[in-house]
Structure 1
Amino acid sequence: MSARRDFAKLIDTEVRAFIRKTAESYPEDAVEGSIADQRRAYDAMCRAFHQGRPEGVTAEDRSADGVPVRVYSAGFPNHTVMFFHGGGFVVGGLDSHDDFCAQICAMTGYRVVAVDYRLSPEHTHPAAFDDCWTATQWAAQHYGSGLVLVGDSAGGNLAASVAHHARGRLEGILGQVLIYPGLGGDGSAPSYAENAEAPMLTLEEVRFYETIRLAEGQPAPEGDPTYAPLQDSDFSGLPPTVIVTADCDPLRDDGAEYAARLRAAGGKVQWINEEGLVHGFLRARSMATRARASFERIEIAIEALGQGIWPYH
């Protein structure tokens, strides 16, 4: 088993300040509270970090065949980003990642469709996936081909799930960008042990979020890539993929394993592991140099995939 890591040495002062600010609204033991309490705390934390929408970006709440979505646009976009928010399948919604979606829209010029999928435990698997797939089909029908799938954490799982499911069913997915995704690793990879007590997300919390996706007494699905993309038996035919992980995160090696599977199947994939960063670092982009640099890499990846460009060697 890998030794636990010394996060005090790995994480710089700016990222530590971000961790402290997060804890002011969303304490480390929040996962032990009721679902309603978790959502209140998470929403408060998101409001504390909200950076506002850039000038020129408009947003409209719509229904994508029954699934609530928020559509961001600036000018006359020619491509569409499907955005699936993180939050352990339990918390988050259209407001939690509003500023991130608006900034992606402003920086790339692409339309962004944020999906308000149903949450657990009220709606267990496959409800979240079903909503994301419905919204993606709706966007393809309304806006045409040229979709880039993007998601952070649980949303990274959902983006990859849609990419796997779309093969042979939906044309026009140009790529996917997965940000510190949980992809259903079996727990044997080194990051699960060495980052088990990482700030922002512990291994115990990962296990909690995996379990809460399932109905009481329901066993974890096997061989179901709509639940865990790493369970798929076929990694061929997937769109160009960029995976961005946080080095101080138990989920880090899910990204590494997924990249290896795609590469072995002949796919285009780039894995970027961000040293000194923690799960949820997107919210640190205004206060931590490392997070801001990673956000720029994420924006470049989204824009390049939308243009059919592979900017990696």
Structure 2
Amino acid sequence: MTDYKTLIDAETWAFIERTNSYYPPDTIDDTIAQQREIYDRMCREFFAGYPEGVTVETSAIATPTHDIPIRTYRSAPQAAVTVLYFHGGGFILGGLDSHDDVCAELCARTGYEVISVDYRLAPEHLHPAAFDDVMSAFEWTASTRAHPILLCGDSAGGNLAAAVSHATRGHPRRPVGQVLIYPGLGGDRSKGSYVTHAEAPMLTTRDLEFYKHIRTGGVDGTGDITLSPLADADFANLPPTVLITAECDPLSSDGEAYRDRIIAAGGRAYWFEEPGLVHGYLRARHTVGRARASFTRIVDAVTALGKGAWYW
């Protein structure tokens, strides 16, 4: 039995308790509509505002079948890089508002343009709807921006960012890098953090099974790399990758496995497991020292990869 009382410090426990006060652990037993209402309220409670100097524009990408809402953040007249950001939320929660302040701060601290993508959610839109939307967003960005494109996402968004990286290896505007924050990449659930942290605060393996079932409608997606990037047989020619995971999170081993596969294929990848942190800690970046340090690590990784640098 993992002893979280010793692994997790007092600041992080306070964040967990505050989160649970807005979003109780048994929320997955509620209806999807109720879960979204609870999640959205929690995100509003944690909203930290915009840094000075960031301008924000909400618009949409038109596709033949529907519009994809996006929000663009800028802090410099001429951005050198565009960061495509895909939000977390188990593929059923979140949108432009849930990660609004995270994207604004990422923009302010890197000086890069950040575009947040409001991809379609399950269960109304089953896989591969979310993947199709982020691919459309990538194609639109490639056709409207002359500067390099970098992918970034947390949790479900990290999964989508990796899936785009795998799908665009032959693209003339392939991403220059990807930063994946506690992503779920379809790893082996019989070992590693899936076992050690099956009952971690903030995210359990029961939660993961629920989200997977909702995303696919119960259809077996074994071998589908747009669903589980770790199912790919070929890890060559992926962009330089930085993975940041939380120690107390069943998904942490996915970061290690993904790094190992890229390095074995001759690519560049770095994995850092944040000691004592839990899934969803981006919301703790202003109140928990470990989360604050991790967000700086994320900002530094985005900045470096955008410049074509590699120093890990």
Cα separation, 1, equivalents of 2:213 and 2:247:
24
Cα separation, 2, equivalents of 1:273 and 1:202:
17
Once the two structures are superposed, the pairs formed by residues 242-257 of structure 1 within 5 Å of their partners are 242-257=242-257
Name the counterpart of 1:17. Answer: 14
Greater CA drift, 105-114 or 181-190: 181-190
Q: Secondary structure at the match of 1:213?
A: helix
Cα separation, 2, equivalents of 1:311 and 1:73:
26
Contact map agreement 2:183 2:255 (CA 8 A) in 1 = yes
* 1:48-103: CA deviation from partner (whole Å, max 9, x where unpaired): 11100111101111112321110111122121000000000010000000000000
Contact map agreement 1:54 1:106 (CA 8 A) in 2 = yes
User: Deviation of residue 170 (structure 1)?
Assistant: 4.3
Percent identical? 54
Name the counterpart of 1:60. Answer: 57
Cα separation, 2, equivalents of 1:189 and 1:165:
28
* 1:214-258: CA deviation from partner (whole Å, max 9, x where unpaired): 125x22x23221110001010000000000000000001011100
Name the counterpart of 1:51. Answer: 48
Structure 1: gaps (5+ residues): none
User: Is 1:298–2:295 an aligned residue pair?
Assistant: no
Q: Which runs of 4 or more aligned residues in structure 1 lie more than 6 Å from their structure 2 counterparts after TM superposition?
A: none
Number of aligned pairs? 307
User: Deviation of residue 162 (structure 1)?
Assistant: 0.3
Structure 2: gaps (5+ residues): none
User: Is 1:207–2:204 an aligned residue pair?
Assistant: no
TM-score (norm 2): 0.97
Residue 86 (structure 2) aligned to one of 84, 87, 107: 84
Contact map agreement 1:145 1:173 (CA 8 A) in 2 = no
Name the counterpart of 2:230. Answer: 230
Cα separation, 1, equivalents of 2:179 and 2:256:
14
Classify 1:170/1:222 alpha carbon distance in 2 versus 1 (closer, same or farther; 3 Å).
farther
Contact map agreement 2:88 2:156 (CA 8 A) in 1 = yes
Residue 159 (structure 1) aligned to one of 134, 144, 161: 161
Name the counterpart of 1:97. Answer: 99
Q: Secondary structure at the match of 2:236?
A: coil
Q: Residue type matched to 1:37 in 2?
A: Q
Greater CA drift, 68-77 or 106-115: 68-77
Contact map agreement 2:109 2:299 (CA 8 A) in 1 = yes
Greater CA drift, 14-23 or 188-197: 188-197
Contact map agreement 1:64 1:139 (CA 8 A) in 2 = no
Greater CA drift, 22-31 or 207-216: 207-216
User: Deviation of residue 185 (structure 1)?
Assistant: 1.0
Name the counterpart of 2:271. Answer: 271
Cα separation, 2, equivalents of 1:189 and 1:138:
39
Q: Residue type matched to 1:281 in 2?
A: Y
Cα separation, 2, equivalents of 1:175 and 1:227:
20
User: Is 1:31–2:28 an aligned residue pair?
Assistant: yes
Cα separation, 2, equivalents of 1:295 and 1:134:
28
Cα separation, 2, equivalents of 1:144 and 1:138:
11
TM-score (norm 1): 0.96
Cα separation, 2, equivalents of 1:153 and 1:34:
21
